[in-house]
């Protein structure tokens, strides 16, 4: 029974379909909440970084 439920859930959610990437709706919701401040693309060593700011918290901090 558990195996059937697991297989059924995998078909319903299909986690592998986007290969770990955000879908269009996920991207929209993410950027409704966060601002992209700085992005450092991959360097020769493979390092990359992204600095984000949560919109609501930044507004609250400015009001204080």
For 47, how many CA atoms within 13 A lie in the half-sphere containing its CB?
Answer: 3
DSSP state of 30: H
Q: Which tens digit of pLDDT belongs to each residue from 51-60?
A: 999 988 766 6
pTM given for the model = 0.53
Q: Where do the DSSP E strands lie in 1-64?
A: 34-40, 49-54
Mean pLDDT of 21-36: 90
Q: Which tens digit of pLDDT belongs to each residue from 1-24?
A: 556 655 555 555 555 566 778 888
């Amino acid at each position: 029974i558990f195996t059937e439920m697991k297989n059924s859930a995998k078909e319903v959610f299909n986690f592998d379909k986007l290969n770990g990437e955000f879908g269009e709706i996920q991207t929209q919701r993410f950027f409704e909440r966060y601002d992209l401040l700085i992005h450092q693309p991959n360097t020769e060593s493979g390092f990359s970084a992204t600095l984000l700011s949560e919109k609501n918290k930044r507004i609250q901090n400015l009001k204080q």
